[in-house]
């Protein structure tokens, strides 16, 4: 339905999991269909507050990844441009914010999980975004982390000044990263 209208598609967003009851397995099927249709998928994973407080954040995200990636070929997903977005549900609209170090640790955990699933090449190349109440005030903290490759911006994208601030900060960070690469 989206072919010709979009090039990217979000799969597994927390609101779809919550409001539409989408399971990890259904999300895996949607992921496959998106790639088959030539859409670039952004696979969202993330834990609820009670799961985080119980120390199960990494386990929850690993389960979501394993179920969504099951049955797919790593080279097909890599060719399809798979992106993973860490979306800590507990940090979305709750007033409780994740820190850059939290997101960075989860991005590392996501890559480790993908490698443990036997997909070493994909683990090293898959971009990992942060997507939990991103604002112009906090984007720098997330983009400054080495394991975070970008942001999945939600509500702030509907506010022109806020989005402009996010884009400006992302540009500064991108230039700094390119300068570091060129210097090495």
Residues tagged active-site? 13, 87
- What is the C-alpha to C-alpha distance for residues 103 and 115, in angstroms, rounded to an integer? 18
- CB-side exposure of 21: number of CA atoms within 13 Å? 0
First to last CA, the chain: 45
Per DSSP bridges, beta strands 8-11 and 83-86 are unpaired
Angle, helix 24-36 to helix 57-69, in steps of 10 degrees: 50
Strands across the sheet containing 83-86? 8-11, 40-45, 83-86, 128-130, 150-151
Please, what's the b/e burial string for 144-166 (b: 16 or more CB within 10 A of its CB; e: otherwise)? ebebbbbbbbbebeeeeebbebb
Task: Match 């443990």 to its residue by tokens.
Answer: 116
Q: What are the start-end ranges of the H helices in 70-147?
A: 74-79, 100-116, 120-125, 139-143
């Amino acid at each position: 339905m989206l072919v010709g209208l979009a090039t990217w598609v979000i799969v597994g967003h927390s609101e779809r999991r919550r409001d539409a009851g989408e399971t990890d397995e259904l999300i895996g099927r949607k992921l496959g269909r998106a790639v088959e249709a030539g859409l670039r998928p952004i696979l969202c994973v993330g834990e609820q507050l009670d799961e985080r407080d119980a120390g199960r954040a990494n386990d929850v995200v690993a389960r979501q990844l394993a179920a969504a990636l099951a049955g797919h070929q790593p080279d097909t997903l890599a060719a399809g441009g798979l992106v993973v977005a860490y979306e800590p549900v507990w940090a979305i609209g709750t007033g409780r914010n994740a820190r850059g170090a939290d997101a960075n640790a989860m991005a590392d955990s996501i890559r480790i999980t993908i490698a443990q699933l036997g997909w070493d090449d994909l683990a090293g190349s898959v971009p990992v975004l942060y997507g939990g109440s991103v604002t112009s005030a906090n984007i720098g903290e997330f983009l400054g982390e080495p394991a975070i490759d970008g942001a999945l911006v939600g509500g702030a994208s509907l506010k022109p000044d806020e989005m402009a601030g996010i884009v400006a900060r992302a540009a500064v960070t991108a230039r700094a990263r390119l300068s570091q690469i060129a210097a090495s």
